[in-house]
Amino acid sequence: MIEEILPAGVLSAEEFGDPEPDLMLFPEEERALGQAVLKRRLEFTTARLCARRALAGLGLPPAPVVPGPRGEPRWPHGVVGSITHCAEYRCAALAPADAFLGLGVDAEPNLALPEGVLGAISLREERRRLLDLPLTDPPVHWDRLLFSAKEAVYKTWFPLMRRRLDFTDAAITIAPYDGTFSARLLLPGPSVRGTRLHTLTGRWMARDGLLMTAIALPAHAPADGAGRGPLPAAGARREVAPA
| Within a domain: 231 | no
Residue of 163, 198, 165, 182 whose CA lies nearest to 125? 182
193 is in which domain, residue-wise?
107-218
**According to the model, what pLDDT value does residue 190 have?**
83
Q: Are residues 156 and 182 both part of a single domain?
A: yes
Q: Are residues 166 and 204 both part of a single domain?
A: yes
CATH of the domain at 31: 3.90.470.20
**According to the model, what pLDDT value does residue 238 have?**
44
| Within a domain: 241 | no
| Within a domain: 208 | yes
Indicate the number of domains in the chain: 2
Q: Are residues 120 and 210 both part of a single domain?
A: yes
Q: State the Cα angle at 29 between 28 and 30, rounded to 5°.
A: 90
Q: Are residues 92 and 154 both part of a single domain?
A: no
Written as tens digits, the pLDDT of the chain (243 aa) is 999 999 999 999 999 988 766 789 999 999 999 999 999 999 999 999 999 999 999 999 999 999 998 889 999 999 999 999 998 899 999 999 999 999 999 999 999 999 999 999 999 999 999 999 999 988 999 999 999 999 999 999 999 998 889 999 999 999 999 999 999 999 998 887 778 889 999 999 999 999 999 999 998 745 444 544 333 333 344 445 667
**According to the model, what pLDDT value does residue 86 have?**
94
Q: Which domain-ending residue is among 104, 122, 143?
A: 104
Q: Which domain-ending residue is among 104, 121, 140?
A: 104
**According to the model, what pLDDT value does residue 81 have?**
97
**According to the model, what pLDDT value does residue 138 have?**
87
